Amino acid sequence: MKVSAAPHRVDDLLRFLRRLGHEAEAAEDGVVEVGPSGGAVDPGSVFPLAVSLQLRVWNLVNETDARVVEVTEPLEP
């Protein structure tokens, strides 16, 4: 899945997502690609929903507006 963030916050967001155990890489300016550690998402996985909730926490703490911009799996199991 891809997450959009302010370009100057991408490094901090990458650290946050990696500390939570996700694989995260900068994909393009202001966009982070996030995946579960270990690769593929199983059908029915709550991974996209979990990342969405974690982004809400990130946004509240950092007073920013990171958001999911592309999801390859459904947000609800």
Number of domains the chain is built from: 1
Q: Report pLDDT for 5.
A: 94
Band of residue 12 on the pLDDT scale cut at 50, 70, 90: very high
Question: 77 lies in a domain?
Answer: no
- Cβ-based burial of 44 (10 A; exposed 0-12, middle 13-18, buried ≥19): exposed
Question: 55 lies in a domain?
Answer: yes
Cα–Cα distance, 51 to 1 (Å, whole number): 9
Question: 17 lies in a domain?
Answer: yes
Band of residue 77 on the pLDDT scale cut at 50, 70, 90: very low
Q: Report pLDDT for 45.
A: 72
Question: 75 lies in a domain?
Answer: no
Q: Report pLDDT for 43.
A: 58
Q: Report pLDDT for 36.
A: 86
Host domain of residue 27: 2-70
Question: 8 lies in a domain?
Answer: yes
Angle of the 10-19 helix axis to the 47-62 helix axis, nearest 10: 130
Question: 28 lies in a domain?
Answer: yes
Indicate the residue type of 21. G
Question: 39 lies in a domain?
Answer: yes
Question: 76 lies in a domain?
Answer: no
Residues 13-60 pLDDT 10s: 999 999 999 999 999 889 999 988 876 666 567 888 889 999 999 999
